[in-house]
Amino acid sequence: MKIRYPAVAVVFALVAGCSNGQAVSRAGTGAVDATVRISASGQKVRPDQGVTVTASGGTLQAVTGAIGRFSADRTSWKTTWALKPGSAYKVTATAKNAKGKVSTVSSTFRTERAPRTVGIASVTPAAGEKVGVGMPVIVDFTGPVADRANVEKALEVTSGKGDEGAWSWISDRRVVYRTRKYWHPHQKIAFTAHLTGVRAAKDTYGVRDVTRSFTIGASNVTVANARTHYMTVDHDGTVKRFKISTGAGTTADTITTNGIHLTREKRPVVTMTATCKKGSPGCDYYEGERVELAVRITVGGEYVHKSVGEYYYLGRQNASHGCVRTSPAGARYFYDISQRGDIVDVTHTTRRFADEPYADDWKFWTRSWAQWLAGSALHGSSPA
């Protein structure tokens, strides 16, 4: 989306001293070689359009009053982010002409107030949290975002190790940042939403920036193979192998979902009840079953956990109600190293995790990189 600047600009002839938004000329001073153009003036400047300063017949030496960047040849300068709605600004530009003459001019203006506002309702991960290498940045807004490209450009993620990533819109209130490959472990990540003054919809602007930082912890990548009945756990390069039993498949909901999952939470004890209707065909109904060392991987109720007895199935046969069961030793090891955002890749089952109906499932790694970019307002065609 191209940002259009106001058609009317204030033009300043550069002379020694400082002007108050008017062209200045004094008899006997001689011709002025440099001219500065400042795009913002008056009382109703749109905050999302920012300010542009250009110089002809010379180069810009400094611009104050807002945060911005010079062009490579220093003949122009532009604000980096949008301006705060309903605020007064004074932008001062200093330039030097070809003969070395330095002059300064200023423009004062006020941005329009925001008729309606939009903000950030939540950011995941939490501030200061240590997470796994698959963890996305999930941003939820307080209202619908129509101008997605505007908002997406204002969202900044900085990786200490330079990991590549992109945003993808899940809905008009949620956008998610995922890396192309898993994060490098043991690094700091900073997220900033430069939302102040950004036009998110008609007559709707952001009024506050939001900053979060978190840490990528150890690299925990687990592959649970429903065919071999083993899972391999790669913890920062140390690989351990444990016997498992996945979903028996007597009904559709007892097939463990296939694909890349993310760990969501862990609890020492979880009480579980069957999702199938008691007495229905193929339903092995249970209620109030206490399961230990449970690490959740889906909204629908799949966990990696310690097997409740029936250890003879581990490494031999799929007999669970849909979870990944493992041995006491395997469950303890997996539970102790688990952090939100670890990778659990379940393979060789017939029920796709990508097809699950729960809107809040973290299915972000079930998409290819090309599919992910297609959901970006800047890199592809964002979904409605």
Catalytic pick among 283, 323, 348, 379: 323
The answer to whether the beta carbons of residues 303 and 291 sit under 8 Å apart is: yes
Distance CA 347, CA 231 (A): 10
Residue 297, Ramachandran bin (φ over 0: left; ψ between -120 and 50: alpha; else beta): alpha
**Is 276 part of the annotated catalytic residue set?**
no
- 151, 200 Cβ separation under 8 angstroms: yes
Is 283 marked active-site?
no
Active-site residue, from 229, 261, 305, 321: 305
Q: Nearest 5 degrees, angle CA 46-CA 52-CA 53?
A: 140
Residues with catalytic function: 305, 323
